[in-house]
């Protein structure tokens, strides 16, 4: 997909690489303002490199990993490493997002998200473009493998009965209002779910 863009726009969606993958120790708070990049205000001595995080965290540049599991959905911004740990342990959540639960109340669906930060105080926009591009690429790949279904009767699918949301695999919610369900059982190994230093 990226190759279809002109050279300038291709660069906007590059993998920023491991040097810009900055996971800080849980107790080390962001030192600048919301707009400041960690490289300008935070102490790199408090970062935990991909190598230190073990084999699941290492990958070649431009080869994103795919993770399957519970996505925690909230109407609040997740900016605390402590809260991230709590929700992960309590609900086996492997990532956090802010929109899907509301959508899933109306439309059972599969949620695909690109990971762009560690849901802590160091949250920044450095990985957002790459994350959006990888999620879009995965969605396109997934759709290309799903057989097409005729849409009839004002938007209801011909075999809508097969779209029952799973009752034993709920989406995790931790905000004050959202609720939703993960639409179906997803098979696949969950890895990369370990955050920070234990
Ligand atoms: Zn920071």
Instruction: Please tell me the distance between residue 41's alpha carbon and the centre of ligand 1 in angstroms.
Output: 7
Structure tokens, 157: 């699918």
pLDDT tens for residues 15-53?
999 999 999 999 999 999 988 899 999 999 999 999 999
CA distance 176 to 102: 12
CA distance 33 to 169: 38
* Residue 3 clears pLDDT 80, i.e. is over it: no
**pLDDT bucket at 153, cuts 50 / 70 / 90:** low
Range of weakest confidence among 77-81, 150-154, 193-197 = 193-197
Instruction: Please tell me the distance between residue 123's alpha carbon and the centre of ligand 1 in angstroms.
Output: 7
Instruction: Please tell me the distance between residue 126's alpha carbon and the centre of ligand 1 in angstroms.
Output: 12
Instruction: Please tell me the distance between residue 19's alpha carbon and the centre of ligand 1 in angstroms.
Output: 14
Range of weakest confidence among 45-59, 151-165, 172-186 = 172-186
CA distance 38 to 33: 10
Kindly state the average pLDDT of the residues 135-141. 92
Rg (CA), the chain: 18
Instruction: Please tell me the distance between residue 37's alpha carbon and the centre of ligand 1 in angstroms.
Output: 7
Which residues fall inside 5 Å of ion ligand 1, going by CB?
A: 30, 38, 42, 122
DSSP state of 166: P
Instruction: Please tell me the distance between residue 114's alpha carbon and the centre of ligand 1 in angstroms.
Output: 20
Name the pTM for this structure.
0.74
Residue 114 lies in a domain: yes
* Interacting residues of 78 by C-beta distance below 8 A, sequence separation 6+: 72, 84, 96, 119
Residue 5 lies in a domain: no
Instruction: Please tell me the distance between residue 58's alpha carbon and the centre of ligand 1 in angstroms.
Output: 21
If you write DSSP's letter for every residue of 4-16 in order, what string do you get? Answer: GS-HHHHHHTS--
Q: Residue 47 belongs to what domain range?
A: 15-146+160-173
Residue 192 lies in a domain: no
Residue 10 lies in a domain: no
Torsion sign (Cα): 30, 32, 37, 43: negative
Residue 54 lies in a domain: yes
Instruction: Please tell me the distance between residue 29's alpha carbon and the centre of ligand 1 in angstroms.
Output: 7
pLDDT reported for residue 73: 87
Q: Where are the alpha helices (DSSP H) in the chain?
A: 7-12, 38-41, 81-91, 100-106, 128-145
CB 53, CB 164: distance < 8 Å: no
Residue 119 lies in a domain: yes
* Residue 167 clears pLDDT 50, i.e. is over it: no
Instruction: Please tell me the distance between residue 162's alpha carbon and the centre of ligand 1 in angstroms.
Output: 45
Residue with tokens 């911004």: 77
β-bridge mates for residue 23, sequence order: 48
Residue 153 lies in a domain: no
Residue 188 lies in a domain: no
- Number of structural domains in the chain: 1
């Amino acid at each position: 997909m990226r190759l279809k863009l002109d050279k300038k726009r291709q660069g906007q969606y590059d993998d920023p690489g491991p040097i810009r993958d900055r996971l800080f120790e849980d107790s080390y708070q962001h030192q600048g303002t919301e707009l400041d990049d960690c490289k300008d205000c935070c102490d790199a001595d408090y970062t935990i490199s991909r190598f230190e995080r073990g084999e699941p965290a290492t990958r070649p540049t431009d080869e994103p990993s795919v993770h399957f599991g519970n996505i925690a959905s909230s109407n609040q911004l997740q900016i605390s490493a402590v809260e991230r740990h709590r929700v992960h342990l309590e609900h086996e959540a492997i990532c956090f997002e802010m929109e899907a639960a509301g959508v899933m109340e109306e439309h059972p669906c599969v949620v695909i998200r690109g990971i762009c930060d560690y849901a802590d105080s160091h949250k920044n926009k450095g990985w957002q473009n790459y994350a959006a591009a990888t999620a879009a690429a995965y969605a396109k790949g997934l759709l290309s493998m799903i057989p097409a279904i005729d849409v009839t009767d004002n938007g209801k699918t011909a075999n809508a009965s097969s779209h029952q949301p799973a009752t034993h695999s709920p989406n995790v919610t931790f905000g004050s209002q959202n609720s939703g369900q993960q639409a179906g059982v997803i098979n696949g190994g969950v890895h990369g779910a370990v955050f920070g230093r234990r």
